[in-house]
Every structure is written in structure tokens, then in C-alpha cells.
Amino acid sequence: MAEEKTKLIGEVDQAQIDKWKADPKCLGVVGIIVGGHIAYVKRPDRNVVSYALSQMSFSMTPSNDSLEQAKIEMSLGKMYKQGEAVLVHCWLGGSEEIRSNNKLWTGACMKAGELVEYEEAELKNF
């Protein structure tokens, strides 16, 4: 007997996802699931990443030993703002209740911030 999949509130069919993906400005579609609801966002482009990172601030406590051992702190409020930037600027569709329910919105913002990705770089003197 096959298990029936529980449909999330705001869930769309594959045809809609394919339509979003067909847009040349869309870098990919990601679903953010929170409290039985789903929001669909496109992966953030450079402009959104730049804006999201501008919402961040860090405090760093230097270590006597080395920069690598320094303590870096980031507040949850700043993480929220980063995710909010992604949700606001990359929203494609899904449950509108996520936008109107503070608890769902907060959970979605905290998860959306993880979409701001980057590769670790290094500097080399010549």
C-alpha cells in the first residue's frame, strides 16, 4: 500500500515550478517549508546577495594567538534581516499565510538566509 503524501499549504504542481525555472532570470527554485506551509523562492542573484549582506554586521573579538582563532559574533536579528531580504526580493509563490503570520514569517526568514552562499576565498601576495 503506497503512502499518500501530505500536501503542504501553498504547494504548487511541477508544471508551475518548471514555468518559474524557465525564466532566464531564475537561478533555481527552492521551497522553504515552515509549519505545514511552503514558500517558493528563486535563488538570489548578485544584487539580492549584496543587499542581504548589507543587512549583516559582525562583531569580532581578536585573539592574542591569531586571526583564525578570533571570535566572530552575529546577532540573530541580523540573520533574520538577511533572510527577510531574500524572501522579499525572491518570492515566487506559495502560502500567503507565511507573509501574514509573524511566527511563520520569522521561521521562513531564518531559513531563507541560508540561501546567501559564497565560496571561501584567499588572498595571495605577489
Cell of 103: 511566527
Residue 92 has pLDDT above 60, yes or no: yes
Distance from C-alpha of 36 to C-alpha of 98, rounded to nearest angstrom: 10
Cell of 42: 528563486
pLDDT for residue 64: 63
Lowest mean pLDDT among 2-6, 70-74, 81-85, 96-100: 70-74
Of 73 and 35, more confident: 35
User: Would you say the C-alpha torsion 107, 43, 14, 12 has a positive or negative sign?
Assistant: positive
Residue 72 has pLDDT above 60, yes or no: no
97-111 average pLDDT score? 96
Report pLDDT digits (tens) over 42-71.
999 999 988 888 876 665 566 566 555 555
Residue 73 has pLDDT above 60, yes or no: no
Report pLDDT digits (tens) over 78-87.
778 889 999 9
**DSSP element (H, E) containing 60:** strand 59-61
| DSSP symbols for 97-109 | HHHH-HHHHHHHH
Q: Cβ of 28: how many Cβ atoms within 10 Å?
A: 11
